[in-house]
């Protein structure tokens, strides 16, 4: 059992999963983890409840609604993220990316005559969830040393993104094919390979981009055989996927996201590299070997949508996971990115259950790639942030506003939602007034028929630490600092996951 005398200020009574995780660690690891936890404020320690698992699948109408759900807000907010950080044997897992994917759906019908909110959550029935795979994970090796891990790859956990396209709902995990999901019940229909177009491992990123004018979906996968390259896909508005193009990578990098303009697909390759030999020989899980290698530099890759020559612009190393949006400006390409200066981020993610992110600050940064190949850099906000979003109709187009999570008091999670005006650089922020609370990624839900870019709502889920429950929060996208227009209080908590999407009700 955990030796609480090592850090007597750490009260784990309300965090049973965290305590179980600590009990699973070796003596030195446990002492180090308890030391990190003991250095946290009581408020931050409370916030760790956002990573407690949710093992129960719910389906009910939400009765506890405060404020008024806006008239015209009608559709479903889908969210995806790990629901439990344990493998199918019950063993605790280390890495932020190791947990089984659990989908949640908030079906909203606003206005005085609306039906309110219905909530449901359901695990994706992956092979891992059903106990049909090995237990070598992204950041947690299988028991038994190298013999149990040699040649093993992590299972598809379907835990990162959720998108709707051409009438189909998909749970996404970047190193494998998507799982198709019933949009009403959240039941798993099965793995989707699009008629065999997703071959081999079927890598298909969790960050597809959507063309507002054509309805097409673009996406990519990282393939390492016969040499590292991006395999890029185009899915038309009917749902027909085809291989669009492929392009080499400068090294076997982890590429998580990309952006779209009206002329290009924009990739920013960061030198986050695994130790391939250690992984293949079973000496370490891939997540433990990822290292930031600034000596390798970064590369911007611009893939023309019309099939023209691919442009590659080498640049000093940039550490990032998420791109916000991009657009063409004359002959230039402009792309906004959440950048980091300290590679300790990778260590924090690898041991997220006891490692706050306060010493891994980020900057919202704009890169302008000129027609001649120069790259101009401009910080847009020094407010540490993550999970950027924008109005979906402005995907790949000039836009004025970006939305993201920020931190006001917490260092372990994001306790605020911020709107950034990209023209005058002002920010409007709503921070939870309750100690230890945190927000997930804000998703933009446009008002039907609106013409203003910020005419709509931000939908986010707030973990309420004192009650150990969660609630849907609806904010005014024009001014989130006004606070919630409405909230829908759940009877249980929803672990803070990764990404979500809003699907408007078809009229």
Binding-site annotation: residue ranges for Fe cation:
207, 256, 322, 499
Chain centre distance of CA 53: 17
Q: What is the DSSP string of 274-300?
A: --HHHHHTTSS-HHHH-EE-GGG-EEE
Residues 7 and 38: beta-carbon distance below 8 Å: yes
Q: Which of 330, 445, 496 is nearest to 70 (CA)?
A: 445
Query: What whole-number distance in Å separates Cα of residue 287 and Cα of residue 270?
Result: 16
**6 three-class SS:** helix
Q: For residue 440, which of 371, 499, 361, 398 has the smallest C-alpha distance?
A: 499
Helix (H, G, I), strand (E, B) or coil at 331: coil
Strands 209-210 and 188-191: unpaired
User: For residue 229, how far is the Cα from the chain centroid?
Assistant: 23
Is the Cβ–Cβ distance between 378 and 391 less than 8 Å? no
Residues of the binding site: 207, 256, 322, 499
Alpha-carbon distance of 290 to 308, in angstroms, equals 34
What gap in Å lies between CA 327 and CA 63, rounded to an integer? 43
**Sequence-separated (6 or more) residues with CB below 8 Å from residue 494:** 54, 79, 104, 121, 461, 463, 470
CA–CA distance, 122 with 496 (Å, rounded to integer): 15
With contact defined as beta carbons under 8 Å apart, do 437 and 416 qualify?
Answer: no
The DSSP-derived string for 433-471 is: SSTT-EE---EEEEPTT--STT-EEEEEEEEETTTTEEE
- Is the bond preceding 347 in cis, omega lying within 30 degrees of 0? no
Over the Cα atoms of the chain, what is R_g?
Answer: 22
């Amino acid at each position: 059992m955990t030796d609480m005398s090592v850090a007597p200020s750490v009260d784990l009574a309300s965090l049973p999963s965290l305590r179980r995780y600590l009990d699973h660690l070796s003596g030195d690891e446990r002492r180090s983890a308890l030391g990190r936890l003991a250095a946290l404020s009581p408020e931050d320690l409370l916030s760790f409840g956002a990573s407690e698992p949710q093992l129960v699948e719910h389906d009910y109408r939400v009765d506890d609604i405060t404020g008024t759900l806006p008239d015209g807000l009608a559709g479903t907010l889908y969210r995806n993220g790990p629901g439990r950080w344990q493998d199918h044997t019950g063993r605790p897992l280390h890495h932020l990316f190791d947990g089984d994917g659990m989908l949640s759906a908030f079906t909203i019908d606003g206005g005085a005559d609306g039906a309110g909110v219905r909530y449901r959550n359901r695990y994706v029935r992956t092979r891992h969830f059903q106990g049909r795979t090995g237990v070598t994970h992204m950041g947690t090796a299988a028991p038994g040393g190298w013999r149990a891990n040699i040649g093993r790859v992590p299972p598809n956990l379907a835990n990162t993104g959720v998108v709707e396209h051409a009438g189909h709902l998909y749970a996404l995990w970047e190193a494998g094919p998507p799982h198709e999901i019933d949009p009403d019940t959240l039941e798993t229909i099965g793995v989707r390979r699009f008629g065999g177009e997703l071959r081999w491992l079927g890598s298909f990123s969790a960050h597809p981009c959507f063309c507002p004018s054509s309805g097409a979906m673009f996406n990519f996968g990282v393939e390492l055989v016969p040499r590292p390259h991006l395999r890029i896909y185009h899915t038309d508005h009917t749902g027909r996927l085809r291989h669009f193009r492929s392009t080499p990578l400068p090294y076997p990098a982890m590429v998580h996201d990309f952006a779209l303009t009206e002329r290009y697909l924009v990739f920013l390759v960061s030198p986050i590299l695994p130790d391939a030999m250690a992984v293949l020989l079973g000496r370490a899980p891939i997540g433990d070997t990822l290292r930031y290698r600034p000596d390798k530099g970064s590369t911007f890759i611009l893939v023309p949508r019309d099939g023209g020559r691919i442009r590659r612009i080498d640049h000093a190393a940039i550490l990032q996971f998420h791109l916000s949006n991009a657009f063409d400006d004359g002959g230039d390409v402009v792309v906004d990115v959440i950048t980091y200066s300290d590679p300790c981020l990778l260590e924090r993610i690898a041991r997220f259950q006891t490692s706050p992110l306060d010493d891994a600050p980020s900057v919202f940064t704009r890169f302008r790639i000129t027609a001649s190949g120069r790259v101009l850099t401009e910080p847009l906000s020094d407010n540490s942030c993550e999970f950027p979003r924008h109005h979906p109709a402005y995907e790949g187009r000039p836009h004025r506003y970006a939305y993201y999570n920020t931190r006001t008091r917490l260092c372990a999670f994001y306790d605020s939602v911020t709107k950034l005006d990209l023209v005058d650089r002002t920010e409007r922020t709503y921070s939870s007034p309750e100690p230890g609370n945190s927000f997930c990624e804000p998703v933009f839900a446009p008002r039907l028929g609106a013409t203003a870019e910020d005419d709509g709502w931000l939908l986010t889920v707030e973990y309420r630490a004192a009650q150990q429950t969660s609630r849907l929060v609806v904010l005014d996208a024009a001014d989130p600092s006004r606070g919630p227009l409405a909230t829908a209080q759940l009877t249980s908590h929803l672990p803070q996951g990764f990404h979500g999407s809003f699907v408007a009700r078809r009229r």
